Structure 1
Amino acid sequence: MLKKWLSNILIAIVKFYKNFISPLTPNSCRYSPSCSSYMLESIQKHGPFHGFWMGLKRISRCHPWGGSGYDPVPGKTPDKKT
């Protein structure tokens, strides 16, 4: 229940950014999908903790000396049982 609630809060924040802040700034994301779209998808696929961490790592790579191009959110890996 906490994870769902936290996911909804994070998704609302990212959607607010995409709808109200992002249009005011020039398009500068070096990746496809955009960093905000990546963040949304990673939270939806991987949950609020791991998904948010993945999104932050992606944003930290989005700079002139970082990579560029198509960089989709990886799928969930099945849990390994020992």
Structure 2
Amino acid sequence: MLRRLFLAPVHLYRYTFSAVLGRTCRHLPTCSEYMIEAVERHGIWPGGWMGFARICRCRPGGSAGLDFVCEELPKAARWYTPWRYGLWRGTHVPARLREPGS
């Protein structure tokens, strides 16, 4: 119930502003899809911070391209250091999609 309430503004954005403005996200999946998946996978607190960090990266001069929600929470992240949940630069690429040697 709380997750639905937390994600209501994201859904509202997706079906109103985003539909009118067109798809302008620099990433795949889009920032709204990323936020929804992060909250559903990791919960409101860590997922919300991950989504916020992603929105901060989606700007001119920021990152672009494939960027997936991480499969596990970062080891250094704690509830009292929420900024460590988000990736503030670059993109998440699952190990199975990385090129060997990178």
Q: Mark yes or no: TM-score above 0.5.
A: yes
What percent identity do the matched residue pairs reach? 38
Q: Secondary structure at the match of 1:66?
A: coil
Aligned to 2:15: 19
Aligned residues: 75
Q: Which runs of 5+ in 1 are unaligned?
A: none
Please list every run of at least 4 consecutive aligned residues from structure 1 whose deviation after the TM superposition is greater than 4 angstroms.
none
In the alignment, which residue of structure 2 is the partner of 1:55? 51
Task: Decide which of 29, 32, 38 is 2:34's aligned counterpart.
Answer: 38
The alignment partner of 2:72 has SS state of: coil
Query: How far 1:27 moved relative to its partner?
Result: 2.0
State the distance in 2 between where 1:74 and 1:38 align: 10
Aligned equivalents of 2:57, 2:18: Cα separation in 1 = 18
Higher helix residue share? 1
State the superposition RMSD in angstroms. 1.8
Higher relative contact order (CA 8 A, sep 6+): 1
- Normalised to the residue count of structure 1, the TM-score between the two structures is 0.81
